[in-house]
Amino acid sequence: MTKNRKPIPTEQTAREDKVLQTFFHTLRTSNLPLGGAAGLGLGQAGGAKLVGNPPQIYDGTHERTQLFLSQWDIYWGLNYTVNVMAQPYMRVLCFLSYIQGEDLQDWVTHELHWL
């Protein structure tokens, strides 16, 4: 592991890390509009393709964490009615697919097994 990178988060460190708490908050369904209030947008029927610019791949660079999370929030906000985003399990898999790198692989694998 390089000097500038923190070790892979554990459950304990994740609870203490504000950035990771933000990460987990973005995956919750509690802030979806109630009763489909927003309705389906044009071209956003349940099985439609995702729209907008996907977040850049996150490689563990801590200086880019907030940028990545902001990009994810926008992407999720644009696509929350699309099946892959509307289903929490699929949304987490989609999110994890944007986290890549040697130093992150063990953490991503841990999260996949936890699911």
In a domain, 31, yes or no: no
pLDDT tens, position by position, 22-39: 665 555 545 554 444 444
3-state DSSP call for residue 99? Answer: strand
In a domain, 27, yes or no: no
In a domain, 46, yes or no: no
In a domain, 107, yes or no: yes
Per the confidence metrics, is the pTM higher than 0.85?
A: no
In a domain, 22, yes or no: no
Question: What is the pLDDT at residue 36?
Answer: 43
pLDDT tens, position by position, 75-90: 999 998 998 898 888 9
Which residue is associated with the tokens 């994810």? 72
In a domain, 96, yes or no: yes
Domain count of the fold of the chain: 1
Domain hosting 83: range is: 55-115
In a domain, 86, yes or no: yes
- Do 60 and 101 contact (CB within 8 A), yes or no? yes
Distances 66 to 2, 20, 28, 71, 111 between C-alpha atoms, Å: 21, 10, 18, 9, 20
In a domain, 103, yes or no: yes
Question: What is the pLDDT at residue 42?
Answer: 44
Taking the chain, what is the end-to-end CA distance rounded to the nearest angstrom? 26
Which stretches of the chain score pLDDT less than 50? Answer: 1, 29, 33-45
